[in-house]
Amino acid sequence: MSQISCVANASITKLECNTCPLLTLEELKKALVIVQDSHLCRRTPMLYNMQDLLTADATMHLHLKMESMQPTGSFKVRGLANQLANLPDNVKTGRSRLITMSGGNYGKAFAYALSQMGLKGLVVMPTSVPTNRIELIEGFGMEVELVAKSEMMVCVNRHVKENGMTFLHSFDDPVIIAGHSSIGV
């Protein structure tokens, strides 16, 4: 089974990385198919040799993947497509609602994706988040709970324990990492 090493620290070997999950090539390929087949994501173009336009080092080859053309304006919807394709049965059957914490693009993608699937969810956001971001997420039919940034995980854990909600993590989840990786394939 092939292993892909930690992208966050490319200088270490796959056996040394203890801070992030290792994904198999098979898991990455499965996520790619899910993302490609998902109605949530668009195939986005690649702009080649952009170093000429950006006055970058002429010896490098700079290519830009236009993920700003995704429905939510970022690559985050790729990871969500994979997360939502791998939901536990208690969510699929409506016995549990989804919860996440984010003040950024993941929260927006979470709200968009759930609204497209007819699901309801809760987004825990920091009190510092701009009002327009709250309105956008609520506009997709999601509940928003504002808490101090330092209390976001505590709030999520409380809802999971007291309300039986299912937590989708915005970055620390091998399923979302595999979905995000589809950008490079």
pLDDT band, very low/low/confident/very high, at 93 (cuts 50, 70, 90): confident
Give the closest residue to 162 by CA, choosing from 103, 94, 107, 96: 96
Give pLDDT tens digits for 155-169: 999 999 999 999 999
Q: What is the pTM of this model?
A: 0.84
* Strand partners for 166: 98
Give pLDDT tens digits for 8-53: 333 333 334 456 568 899 999 999 999 999 999 999 999 998 887 8
Mean pLDDT across the stretch 43-70? 85
Distance of CA 46 to the CA centre of its chain: 20
Residues of each domain in the chain carrying CATH 3.40.50.1100: 76-173
Among the CATH numbers 3.20.20.70, 1.25.40.10, 3.40.50.1100, 3.40.50.300, which is that of 76-173? 3.40.50.1100
